[in-house]
Chain A
Amino acid sequence: MTMPFPVIEVRKVSRVFRNGDIEVQALKDVSLTIQKGEFVAVMGASGSGKSTLLNILGCLDMPTSGDYYLDGIHVNKLDKNELADIRNQKIGFIFQSYNLLARTTALENVELPLIYNRTGRFSSVREIARRALEQVGLGDRLEHRPNEMSGGQQQRVAIARALVNDPAIILSDEATGNLDSKSSFEIADLFVQLNDQGTTILMITHEPDIARFAKRVITFRDGQMLSDEPVSERNSKAEALRTLLPLTSKK
């Protein structure tokens, strides 16, 4: 089980935001290691620092102090262009509001990260994008545009986009936040399937029953890690849907 290096290794990372004279400590000395194949849920109230952590992990933001190693690369030392390339090659982002390009087909949306790939690793862009869409169960929606799809389907396109560059880790920022419960569980279930196939996933969520789909749950409060525990009883799609039944029958 021991890997040459963990996918994510964060050592004593702090992030301070300065706004005039006011200093806000969004993260305080956070240390975290995520190995390949893990499925981590991050929970916490708004302002607990979980989004700041995600931005740093996603190489969109830099820590004020502390070190961050992504897949063995010391991220602190990279310049803007190198960070862009790291995001392109090592990270798959999933957002709460999908962030798909409007008036653009699912296929073209999924191709997006490949357009900016400078390694020349992906030759048949269209084919790879198609396979990613099939992987998330949208093989029959290749030419659909975002406005022709449901929220759950749009999020699946976004997941395919995050998968398409074969990243070291997928970072999900409240992927189910805009979805109804049933779609939420389906997305969470998709995460489980992807994780089972070997994808490393870190997801931020507000919902405890979604968090329980993961293998490990980290809780944040006031910029510090409150708890970091494995999930003893993992949730599943079937079980989660069962909890929905009495609610729907009550109506």
Chain B
Amino acid sequence: MKHFIKILKVAFQAINRNKMRSFLTILGIIIGVGAVIMTISAGEGAQQAVRNQISGLGNNLLMVYVKSEHRAGVEVRMGKELDKRDLEILNKNSVWMPEVSPLVAMGVQAVGGTGYKTTTIYGTSHDYFNIMSRTIVMGEGFTEQDVSLARKVCLIGETIRNLLFGGEDVLGRQVTINKVPFTIVGLLEEQGETGMGMDQDDLIIAPYTTVQNRLYGSVNYNMIVASAVSEEHVDDAKAEIIELLRESHHLLPEEEDDFEVRTQVELQEITSQVTGTLTILLSAVASISLLVGGIGIMNIMLVSVTERTREIGTRLAVGARESDILTQFLIEAVTLSAAGGILGIAFGLLGNLLIYKATNFFVPTVPYSILIGFGFSALVGVAFGYFPARKAARLNPIQALRFE
């Protein structure tokens, strides 16, 4: 042990004698470890943001889509479109879903008193606000009657109010959507940006009948959303939807569903999976830079062994054992990469902080990312340090002493 400490000292002296080169050697590791920490943290941040956003929708949410498949990179709608008949069946027969709303969304140009904006209009029923947990802060919203009569009324988000009306009181005022005038009957509570940077207040909501008749020109829905009576009955509600829609679509028992039902929980799982995969992918890319950093260390260590051939010969001549030389060079490599790891962690943490300050996108520093980063760098040191160290230890002392 005492002997090991002496060898440790020798290795440190060698690093200390080449400060600049040592630093440049570990630069690759610093960047690699920093990148690993930052990507893992960013992935975790995205995941948290998406999770918050989805759980904000309420835990009893269900969504029904037309079944679609990705074919050659294009999403192709496979099933029967959702329409009035489906909605009526759900409304009439459902036991577990007190609130059901169709959803017709489209991009539109909205013109107001002080400006205009390209935005999205959502055509829904009056139940939509409850289902999606969107609060109306001003006005009453629209009624069932507004829907059945397809009245030209709408609610707007905060962003639309600011851009089109300069933030003034908007109740009762007119907004022209794709040349159709609508009366504003409500203002939605501000929700801010999503974790992914989407503005949740840049929207207009109007009765779906109006949107279909005046703007969309189709009797189909993009989606039907519903909420279960309670969180425990989400699965019952899902089974109910499947049963009712199969009936509505006249599907034979052997035929597959031509629609898809997603619960909020499933949605969360899917997005977690996607962001999780993305994180792994990004980390893999970051690990490559770590690998390259390791090769850099090996390269420099090999150069260093050649450059210090005479020194190694001298050490062997004065009585160093092969294992002493091996240990010394291995310690040098591991110390370098571990130092790179520590600086890399600092770099990664600083990077996370800077991202947060610059974009307000909170990046939680995941503890295991630090472990991974540091562990990886130490591993790289051993793995890439061993070969040069062995080369050094196996030098023939006679030739090494005369090496020019």
Contacts and interface: CB of A to CB of B under 8 A. Distances in A.
Interface string B308-344: 0011011111111111100000000000000000000
Task: Give the secondary structure class of B's interface.
Answer: helix
B13 A108 contact: yes
A85 B318 contact: no
A88 interface: yes
A87 B322 contact: no
A88 B319 contact: yes
Interface string B1-29: 01100110110010001000000000000
B4 to A, nearest CB: 11
A34 to B, nearest CB: 20
A163 to B, nearest CB: 12
A113 B398 contact: no
B291 interface: no
Contacts of B2: 120
A246 B319 CA distance: 44
Contact of A61 (B310, B316, B398): B398
Nearest to A88: B319
Q: Chain A interface residue count: which class?
A: 20 to 34
Given A60-B397, A99-B401, A116 B314 contact: no
Contact of A118 (B3, B317, B397): B3
Interface in A105-152: 108, 112-113, 115-118, 120
A63 interface: no
B322 A80 contact: yes
A236 interface: no
A52 to B, nearest CB: 9
Nearest to A55: B398
B319 A116 contact: yes
Nearest to B320: A116
Q: Chain B interface residue count: which class?
A: 20 to 34
Nearest to A125: B6
A101 interface: yes
Interface string A35-51: 00000000000000000
Given A115-B6, A161-B318, A104 B17 contact: yes
Given A99-B310, A103-B17, A115-B10, A81 B319 contact: no
Contacts of B313: 99
Nearest to A92: B318
Nearest to B404: A97
A165 B310 CA distance: 21
A165 B316 CA distance: 15
Contacts of B398: 55, 60-61
B239 to A, nearest CB: 76
B324 A58 contact: no
Interface string A55-98: 10010110000000000000000001100111111000101010
Given A99-B313, A99-B314, A104-B13, A113 B321 contact: no
Contacts of B397: 60
A162 to B, nearest CB: 8
A104 B14 CA distance: 9
B320 A84 contact: yes
Interface of B: 2-3, 6-7, 9-10, 13, 17, 310-311, 313-324, 397-398, 401
28 contacts: A60-B316, A60-B397, A60-B398, A80-B321, A81-B321, A81-B322, A84-B319, A84-B320, A87-B318, A88-B319, A89-B319, A93-B317, A93-B318, A99-B311, A101-B311, A101-B314, A102-B17, A102-B311, A104-B13, A104-B17, A112-B315, A113-B319, A115-B7, A115-B9, A116-B321, A118-B3, A120-B2, A165-B318
